[in-house]
Amino acid sequence: VEPKREALRVANETLAAANAKLEKVTTLARELQEKLAVLTGELNAANASKQEALDTVAKGQLKLELANRLTNALAAENERWAENVLVLREKKQLLIGDVLLAVAFISYAGPFTKPFRDSLMEGKFLPFLAKEFAPAEGIKPLSESCDPLHILANASMIAGWNSDGLPADRVSSENGAIVCSTARWPLIIDPQLQGIKWIRTKESAPERNLEVVRLGQSDLLRKLTRALENGHSILIENLGEKLDAVLNPVIQRATIKRGRVLYVKLGDSEVEMNPNFRLFLHTKLNNPDYPPEVQAETTLVNFTVTKLGLEDQILVLVLRKQRKDLADKNEELVKQQTGFKIKMQELEDTILSSLANAQGDITEDVALIERLEETKKISDDITKKSAIAEEIQAMIKVTSEKYRAVANRSALLFFLMTDLVKMHTY
């Protein structure tokens, strides 16, 4: 028994020593585990901080790249806009006198031919305004060489009119500006039917729904009523020197306001007048004599072809007859240039609209920057093509001038024949 007891005591001592050692190891393991947890937390925090720093760097690099792309996209525009700002600031000081002159041009110059218009503007209006503004302190609010056409229209507008069929000469452009700017209904003097052709094309859009009628038509009032109510356009062609009395309230804009709606008397009934309604009056008479009330209520616009304008138009016809290849190429280039001017204006408006409506940080708007880059690419392409087209047009013009004498003689013959009726016969 004693040996067994001794063995049990030894075993118990060994167990106690093992338990003590186990407790010591367990305590050490727990301390190490706690240290490991602390180190793991610090490592995770360090990794998170590192990732945040990497994300910040990546975001900064992307923002820097987008900012460089935005700067490059707007670099050329910025230079041009800066110049335009200076020009606009100068024009702002001259705006009062220039607008007064343009308004006078619309009101009074329309019925006259080009020589009389120039005489009226340079001999009457400009000296009068210059005299009236002379006592003004500082900068005189009137341009020294004010051009009403540049005030009333820009290059893209004129290009659009030309693409609609308006002749490209100076007088036709002035007439187009008057027709589009006047607050009164235009009465077009158009023996050669160039103005009416332009209006038919210009107002041919579905939303305008142009109606062409004549006095005496049985459905005149019905079509006029529909145009008034729906805000469409109507053209009354081939007028004489007298207008139907039933049209007077429409021509005079003798509207009756009820609430927010305007009405106009048409015959025995009152018709709602849509603000978008447009009326065009047309006559083929060379020198009509309208009563003062008609001239006061309408804006007369003389589309009668001039010798210089007819010479330019005949030159195009002669060139087409003799050198059809050059004429076709020139016509194609003119349409291309017209489209370029309109497109450039649209692109500029798109850029300004996109920048004005941008939300938040503009350097983070990837879609906006990509759209601006695409716009700049198209703009640069148009600029290059325009330069090439101008060179080709200059070469074509040199060739076409060789036929100028033929066009001059043809225009002279036309006006001689039209003046034959002025000769007294016995």
pLDDT digits (tens, 9 = 90+) for 51-102: 999 988 988 888 888 788 777 777 766 777 777 788 888 888 888 888 999 9
How much is the pLDDT for 181? 93
How much is the pLDDT for 213? 93
How much is the pLDDT for 32? 92
How much is the pLDDT for 76? 63
pTM, to two decimals: 0.70
Residue 48 burial by CB count (10 A; 0-12/13-18/19+): exposed, middle or buried? exposed
How much is the pLDDT for 426? 55
The tokens describing 214, both together, are 């004549």
How much is the pLDDT for 174? 92
- Which CATH code fits 185-304? 3.40.50.300
Query: What is the number of helices (H) and of strands (E) in the chain?
Result: 14, 8
pLDDT < 70: residue spans in the chain: 76-77, 137-138, 425-426
How many Cα atoms occupy the beta-carbon half-sphere of 63 within 13 Å? 10
The tokens describing 146, both together, are 């004010």
336 vs 87, 244, 305, 333, 396, CA distance in Å? 28, 44, 26, 5, 15
Residue 149 burial by CB count (10 A; 0-12/13-18/19+): exposed, middle or buried? middle
How much is the pLDDT for 176? 94
Beta strands at 269-272 and 298-302: parallel, antiparallel or unpaired: unpaired
How much is the pLDDT for 236? 94
| Domain ranges, ordered by start, for the chain | 185-304, 310-421
